Amino acid sequence: MIRSLAVGALVIGVLTAQVPSPTPPPTPPPLPTTTPSASPSPASAGLAVSPLSVAMPPGGFADVTVGNASGDVAATFDKHLATAIVDLAAHVVRVTAGAATGNDVMHLTDPSGAQVDVPVRIAPYGGTLAQTLTLNVTGTPADADWVAAQIRDLLRRSTAVQPGAQATFSVAPLTAPLASGARTSVSVPVQIVGGADYLDVAGTTVVNVQNMTLDPFTPTLLLYDDDPERIVGDGPLFRATVRPNEPARLYYYHDSDAGSHRVVMFLSATTAEPTPVQVVAATGGPNVDVMTVGHNVSRNYVLSKLRNQGVVIDLAQDRGDYPFLDVTFGGGAGIAGSVDLRVLGGGPVTVALLAVPADADADAIAQIALQAPLAKDGHGRSGIFKLDGGYGNAYKNYVAGGPDVSLIYGDAGPPAADADAGRDAGDYGVLQTIAFSLNNPTDKPAVAYLYERPIGGIVRSTFFLDGTAVEMGCVRDPSRRYQISTYALAPGATVPLTIATMTDGGSNYPIEIGVSATPPIPTTPAIDAPDGCFPKAAPSPEASPSPEASPSPRV
């Protein structure tokens, strides 16, 4: 993760209050001591201590209680990394760490010769956690599991973790969706495991969540980033500016060569004034099954878009960048994402997707963002395209007893908005909204079949029929129609149907969707069937069931 970007520089919603925790209290004055007695002490039954070991940051302290002592207790150290003050009356030893880190041993003895050793560890804390955070979301309503995921994501961004340390967040599931305008507060136990170099940290962060009431928005620009598709080096993959009153959608799709690569996407304000941005997004990967990555992104994005489900981030130039994505992957794995951005105030906002070295810090990443873009791969799958003017919207009227009706999408692509744009031939990043009117003017019942037909090759799809998701299997045979749903039309009835869908990264286009009175194939084929995604011999019981990579998908 981008460590320095995640410490105090992120502002989620209106306020992010971050208080370092735990913070060692100031060293109190020395404990009172008593004059050692010269009289002999009885034999000790064996010294007992509590706790059995101590761990402190540099300059910190800890108290050790000594039991069963026969007389006054003395303390010595092997390496002198700490000092001790003994309360001879109470038999309490206050151990104070010095400036150096490391491991030491404190030897406690009494006049009888009894001794107990107390291991002492001096190391920095593994990180700091926020005491309170505010998360602003949108949604009608915001799904309970989705809100919990945003809380975890916020905690990951806002918890400062030292290199090599590991943070975990125990976010309890919300009991119900969060209605528009509603608020809730979630207390999250946070544990940072410091490992060999740092001390563990445990505490609680309170996350105050508000579901802001905002109208849905439709992007007017598509920022399409799939060139170069394969990442082979470091540098800018894509960079664009999003202006107020001109919402945009960033759709990105990349895979890696055999090496390991780190990709970072962040949003940054270009002015010092507060800049709230609404983000409706879905991301996927890394995964070597690039079709599944693209499929999950399209499905999850459309679901969130239909609910206007997103987060509101408050950016400002003097507070730094907001890292939206930081992922390391390789071995041919793929990543994808669909991110809608609306600047609500201030602005404009820069969005950048960068391939950076694994150990790059915030300063190094900022320098890479200023470099010339990486060389294109020659396929022209990048640029800024126009989504206004109703592109992606269609209407079809079906009449029972009449001819089939259908349309094809994923063939032409939206018009370019700049001279350097390539072509989005698969309509990647375009939200398709298709309205059908299903009419039965006859005096008899009728059945209408909604179907898909693959034209461009291997394809998967998710169709939201009046808001309900229907996920299709993987198909490839352009001579066959596959059933999406059926509709019973009463005599004289008219049934409206609205379909929302988006082409999947990793799949191949164009595709046909239509309505017919002829029953299509009721189910999609098995993955290894002749008309399935990967026709091949069925694997033996001992073989791995994982699918092979798609041959040269159009993305």
Could you give the domains of the chain? 4-20+126-211 (2.60.500), 48-122 (2.60.40.1080), 221-385 (no CATH), 393-516 (2.60.120)
- Residues 162-216 have pLDDT tens digits of 999 999 999 998 999 999 999 999 999 999 999 999 999 999 999 999 999 999 9
Cα first-last separation, the chain: 28
Q: Is the pLDDT of residue 527 over 90?
A: no
Q: pLDDT above 90 covers what percent of the chain?
A: 79
| pTM beyond 0.85, yes or no | no
- Residues 249-291 have pLDDT tens digits of 999 999 999 999 999 998 999 888 899 999 999 999 999 999 9
What mean pLDDT is reported for the chain? 88
- Residues 505-516 have pLDDT tens digits of 999 999 999 999
Residue 320 pLDDT grade (very low, low, confident, very high; cuts 50, 70, 90):
low
- Residues 57-103 have pLDDT tens digits of 999 999 999 999 988 999 999 999 999 999 988 899 999 999 999 99
pLDDT for residue 541 = 47
CA 85 from centroid of its chain's CA atoms: 49
CB 7 within 8 A of CB 160: yes
Eight-class DSSP state of 281: E
- Residues 41-60 have pLDDT tens digits of 344 458 999 999 999 999 99
What does the pLDDT average to over 12-19?
Answer: 34
Question: Of 415, 410, 414, nearest to 426 (Cα)?
Answer: 410
- Residues 339-352 have pLDDT tens digits of 999 999 998 999 99
Q: Is the pLDDT of residue 19 over 90?
A: no
- Residues 136-165 have pLDDT tens digits of 999 999 999 999 999 999 999 899 999 999
CA angle, residues 72, 73, 76, in degrees to nearest 5: 145
Eight-class DSSP state of 426: T
Listing from the earlier edge strand, what are the strands of the sheet with 446-454? 405-409, 511-516, 446-454, 482-489
What is the distance between the alpha carbons of residues 433 and 72, in angstroms, rounded to a whole number?
Answer: 84
pLDDT for residue 270 = 85
Q: From residue 169, give the alpha-carbon distance in Å to each of 128, 348, 399.
A: 13, 34, 55
Least confident of 34-43, 44-53, 491-500: 34-43
pLDDT for residue 45 = 58
Q: From residue 125, give the alpha-carbon distance in Å to each of 60, 95, 200, 411.
A: 11, 18, 6, 56
What does the pLDDT average to over 229-240?
Answer: 95
Eight-class DSSP state of 19: -
Q: Coil, helix or strand for 52?
A: coil
Neighbours of 324 (CB within 10 A): 23
Question: Of 444, 455, 453, 410, nearest to 555 (Cα)?
Answer: 410
Eight-class DSSP state of 178: B
